A and B are shown apart, each in its own frame.
Chain A
Amino acid sequence: MNSKNLMSGLALAFFAVAAQAQVAVVVNPKSAAASMTADQVAGIFLGKTATLPSGATAAPADQAEGSAVREQFYSKVAGKQAAQVKAAWSRLVFSGKGTPPKELGSSADVKKFVAANPDAIGYIEKSAVDGSVKVVLTVD
């Protein structure tokens, strides 16, 4: 493996932790959910449940693999590292039980997706929140 990449990745991860950016879990403004617990959100993003608290089938959106916001979301909301999340999804994918959340490239893409889909759920930096989405959980 490229150890230089690994090192810069580690440096980035430390920087992200040091920066302590807040992460907001967002849903469509029309969604009935006013707030959600970390367990409820983690359940959807780890494939333990397919539904939103309303009972509708959730359409979750992930951020890019390796991005700081994604690392922070999984460590704060689910208490899991990237490798654990990947292993958890490989257990579901290779038993035909589910497919991982759709992966989007940026917080802008997540907002666009969530604003357009009443059952969508995603996460973005809190600073990126605007009127097109509704915050149901904030972690820092």
Chain B
Amino acid sequence: MMFQARHRLLPLLLALAAGGASAADSMFSLSGFGTLGLVRTSTDDAQYALFGQTRGADKDASAEVDSKLGVQLGAKFSPMFSGTVQVLTKSNGKGNFTPGVEWAFLKAQVTPSLAVRAGRMGAPFFAVSDFRDVGFANTALRPPKDVYDQVPVSHFDGADASYQLGTSLGTLTGQVFGGKASDRSQRYKVEVKSVAGFNATLETDAGLTLRLGYAQGKLTVGNDQLNGLVTTLRATPFAAVGNQLDPNSSKASFSGVGLTWDQGQWVVSAEYTQRRIKTFLADTDGWYVLVGHRFGALTPYITVSESRTVDSNVTNTIPAATPQLTALKAAVDSVIEGQRHSQKTFALGARWDFARNLALKAQWENIRPDGRGYFIATSANWGNGKTVNVLSVALDTVF
């Protein structure tokens, strides 16, 4: 379905862009962003990848983790109505770089302070959800994985309404949204139905932005192997364990608070987030604090972050009484262990704005995983207490 939509949209995009170029004072605006990145780590026992990617970097450097290209077309039909389409290519959850329609929405600016949108749009789960892929817009090389890897979808299909209010403290923006989301994460189909949530942001004139957000939905992970295990368990006296593992229509919620302070030469940002899910996926908490300082065109920064597995959501009560039960118990344990995303990260980096629309970044991370952490393709040698060093460089642009 995505495939068909893409083939319908691309000619449309081209036609719109051509139309935009010919119109004198155009109603269309074409813009884009891109990143060329390279990552390597200090281990061959696991791979460093982002957000549902099927492969990543180890001792062999990978250009796939961070490299991406986005093209966005905006159209202003009237003072009230506008539309935005964004097509993004990056190493995705299907294991390829096939461009996907990240956004395609219509916006009605009903009054100067009230806007309503419908279509596909960025899912506002985090402080930098909307521009997480736009490296140039962010100080750090990439949003901290310990927080941003918790949610496997980046956009949703539905509608939202946002209202801006000027207060004595600053501009307060309230947003409510609803719809459904689907994507591929490490080749598995992930669907979230009945998505509903809100966001409140306060932006003061002193450069401080505070954010509070909440979203909930019904999550389904299309994992045949796991569904098979659930079916098997339901035929045993341990049906309760099967019910806990059931990856279909599980209640899921995500909440977060964040702050950004960007005034003068200092940049500070921090988020604290909680993921709560009633299925085989674990409940996790994630937080980070970033502090940066501008020295002219150079902005060195430090990020400290952590992801904690609060609850596996599965109590493995199966006894190792018979060889069959032992195998079943081991199968359940391996599912639980695969979802243990605890890790601590210390990162040092710098952004260099060396040209008008180009920024060069370098980042070193020291990651201390407990369990799998957010690494993928872990080998049998992947062990406790090992720390991993990750070195990344990226060139970001906007146009």
Contacts A51-B112, A96-B74, A96-B107 given; indicate if A83 touches B134 (C-beta within 8 A).
no
Contacts A43-B205, A48-B203 given; indicate if A6 touches B134 (C-beta within 8 A).
no
Within 8 Å by CB of A55, from B84, B112, B353, lies B112
Contact A57 B131 (CB under 8 A): no
Contact B112 A50 (CB under 8 A): yes
Q: How many residues does chain B have at the interface if contact means C-beta atoms less than 8 Å apart?
A: 43
Q: Indicate if B264 sits at the interface (CB-CB under 8 A).
A: yes
Q: Which residue of B is nearest A49, CB measured?
A: B171
Contact A83 B29 (CB under 8 A): no
Residues from 87 to 101 in A contacting B, C-beta threshold 8 Å: 87, 90-91, 93-97, 99
> In the assembled complex, which residues on chain B have CB atoms less than 8 Å from the CB atom of A86?
136, 356-357, 398
> In the assembled complex, which residues on chain A have CB atoms less than 8 Å from the CB atom of B103?
96
Tell which of A48, A66, A95 has the most Cβ of chain B within 10 Å. Answer: A95
Q: Indicate if A17 sits at the interface (CB-CB under 8 A).
A: no
> In the assembled complex, which residues on chain A have CB atoms less than 8 Å from the CB atom of B79?
57
Q: A57 to B78, alpha carbons, bound, how many Å?
A: 13
Total A-B contacts with CB atoms under 8 angstroms apart: 83
A-contact 0/1 string along B114-142, CB 8 Å cutoff: 00010001100000101101101110000
Q: Indicate if A79 sits at the interface (CB-CB under 8 A).
A: yes
Q: How many residues does chain A have at the interface if contact means C-beta atoms less than 8 Å apart?
A: 27
Contact A99 B131 (CB under 8 A): no
Q: Indicate if A109 sits at the interface (CB-CB under 8 A).
A: no
Contacts A49-B171, A95-B130 given; indicate if A87 touches B263 (C-beta within 8 A).
no
Contact B131 A91 (CB under 8 A): yes
Residues from 1 to 49 in B contacting A, C-beta threshold 8 Å: 29, 31, 33
B-contact 0/1 string along A71-111, CB 8 Å cutoff: 00000000101111011001101111101000000000000
A83 to chain B, nearest CB (A): 4
Within 8 Å by CB of A90, from B107, B117, B137, B171, lies B137
Q: A90 to B396, alpha carbons, bound, how many Å?
A: 12
B-contact 0/1 string along A4-18, CB 8 Å cutoff: 001000000000000
Q: Indicate if A130 sits at the interface (CB-CB under 8 A).
A: no
Tell which of A6, A50, A83, A97 has the most Cβ of chain B within 10 Å. Answer: A83
Within 8 Å by CB of A49, from B29, B131, B138, B166, lies B166
> In the assembled complex, which residues on chain A have CB atoms less than 8 Å from the CB atom of B355?
1, 6
Q: Indicate if B380 sits at the interface (CB-CB under 8 A).
A: no
Contact A79 B131 (CB under 8 A): no
Contact A94 B263 (CB under 8 A): no
Contact A83 B105 (CB under 8 A): no
> In the assembled complex, which residues on chain B have CB atoms less than 8 Å from the CB atom of A82?
356
Q: Indicate if B305 sits at the interface (CB-CB under 8 A).
A: no
Contact A39 B398 (CB under 8 A): no
> In the assembled complex, which residues on chain B have CB atoms less than 8 Å from the CB atom of A140?
none
Tell which of B31, B70, B264 has the most Cβ of chain A within 10 Å. Answer: B31
> In the assembled complex, which residues on chain A have CB atoms less than 8 Å from the CB atom of B294?
81, 84
> In the assembled complex, which residues on chain A have CB atoms less than 8 Å from the CB atom of B117?
96
Q: Indicate if B169 sits at the interface (CB-CB under 8 A).
A: no
Q: Indicate if B343 sits at the interface (CB-CB under 8 A).
A: no
3 interchain residue pairs of minimum CB distance:
A95-B130, A83-B353, A96-B84
Listed in ascending order, the chain B residues whose CB lies under 8 Å from chain A are: 29, 31, 33, 70, 72, 74, 76, 79, 84, 86, 103, 105, 107, 112, 117, 121-122, 128, 130-131, 133-134, 136-138, 164, 166, 171, 203, 205, 262-264, 294, 297, 353-359, 398
Sample (7) of A-B pairs whose CB atoms are under 8 Å apart: A6-B354, A48-B203, A57-B112, A82-B356, A83-B297, A90-B131, A96-B86
